[in-house]
């Protein structure tokens, strides 16, 4: 009689695949859930007047944004293995929604603002779907791109901070175009890492992919407002 029992190596492979699928599934669910506090945060920023206040003090807002974002990201990573990490992640996305309200309020002030926001959301969805498809089909390990993308992201942040004072439309447009490309590539790398089992914690995975999606959406909205906004 043939022994049909799985070998330890085969069982290990099945367990690994199941674990990777679980992390990916939980990441997608938590990413979808994170959009809810983001929308709520944007609404709070718009209707409480915080968006207008941030618009009057862009330098102070940038400092608040960096301190709050990096502080919460540090706390999330420290608590990523517990339910506290999930709660902190949702708090972080609420905070990011508030920070986004200034841009959304500016775009909504345009004649076609609502349609521009929907276009930015649709474009971000297309980018995410494309990167997710590529992440599952590209065989080459793309993790080596991370250090170059990180350098690019730092340059973009510094240029964006400088433009708070310079107020150069051409620089703003350049930063937005580069940011869309860099964070789309980050999205591909982060998704591939989860799919291939390089990331085993779904809270950390969600945080990374959320930041990619957030930055693609925000910069796509800036770009659309710059080239297609009606006064």
Q: What is the pLDDT of residue 82?
A: 92
Q: What is the pLDDT of residue 6?
A: 52
* Mean pLDDT, residues 4-18: 55
Q: What is the pLDDT of residue 1?
A: 47
The whole-model pTM stands at 0.89
Question: Does the residue 5 lie in any domain?
Answer: no
Which pLDDT band holds residue 5 (cuts at 50, 70, 90)?
low
E strands of 45-120, at which residues?
Answer: none
- Kindly state the tokens that stand for 74: 């540090």
Q: Which residue has the tokens 């920070």?
A: 99
- Kindly state the tokens that stand for 147: 């250090």
In tens, the pLDDT along 29-79 reads: 999 999 999 999 999 999 998 888 888 888 888 889 999 999 999 999 999
User: What is the total count of domains within the chain?
Assistant: 1
Kindly list the distances between the CA atom of residue 11 and the CA atoms of 7, 8, 14, 95, in Å, as whole numbers in the listed order.
Answer: 6, 5, 5, 43
Determine whether 41 is exposed, middle or buried from the number of CB atoms within 10 Å of its CB (0-12, 13-18, 19+).
buried
Give the range of the structural domain holding residue 155, as residue numbers without chain letter. Answer: 11-228
Question: Does the residue 146 lie in any domain?
Answer: yes
Q: What is the pLDDT of residue 2?
A: 52
32 Cβ contact list (under 8 Å, min separation 6):
none
* Mean pLDDT, residues 195-224: 94
- Does the pLDDT of residue 229 top 80, yes or no? no
- Does the pLDDT of residue 15 top 60, yes or no? no
Question: Does the residue 3 lie in any domain?
Answer: no
Mean pLDDT value across the chain: 89
198 Cβ contact list (under 8 Å, min separation 6):
143, 192
Question: Does the residue 1 lie in any domain?
Answer: no
Asked if residues 46 and 105 have their Cβ atoms less than 8 Å apart, the reply is yes
Question: Does the residue 2 lie in any domain?
Answer: no
In tens, the pLDDT along 160-204 reads: 889 888 888 899 999 999 999 999 999 999 999 999 888 889 999
Question: Does the residue 54 lie in any domain?
Answer: yes
Question: Does the residue 4 lie in any domain?
Answer: no
């Amino acid at each position: 009689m043939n022994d049909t029992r799985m070998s330890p190596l085969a069982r290990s492979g099945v367990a690994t695949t199941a674990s990777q699928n679980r992390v990916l599934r939980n990441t997608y669910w938590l990413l979808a859930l994170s959009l809810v506090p983001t929308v709520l945060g944007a609404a709070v920023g718009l209707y409480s007047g915080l968006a207008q206040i941030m618009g009057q003090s862009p330098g102070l807002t940038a400092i608040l944004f960096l301190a709050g974002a990096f502080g919460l990201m540090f706390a999330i990573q420290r608590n990523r293995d517990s339910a506290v990490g999930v709660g902190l992640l949702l708090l972080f996305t609420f905070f990011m929604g508030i920070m986004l309200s200034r841009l959304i309020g500016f775009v909504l002030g345009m004649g076609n603002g609502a349609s521009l926001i929907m276009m930015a959301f649709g474009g971000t969805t297309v980018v995410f779907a494309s990167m997710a498809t590529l992440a599952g089909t590209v065989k080459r390990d793309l993790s080596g791109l991370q250090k170059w993308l990180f350098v690019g992201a730092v340059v973009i942040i510094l240029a964006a901070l400088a433009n708070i004072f310079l107020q150069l439309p051409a620089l703003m447009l350049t930063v937005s175009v580069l940011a869309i490309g860099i964070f789309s590539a980050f999205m591909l790398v982060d998704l591939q890492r989860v799919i291939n089992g390089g990331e085993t914690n779904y809270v950390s995975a969600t945080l990374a992919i959320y930041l990619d999606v957030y930055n693609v959406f925000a910069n796509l909205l800036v770009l659309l407002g710059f080239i297609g906004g009606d006064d």
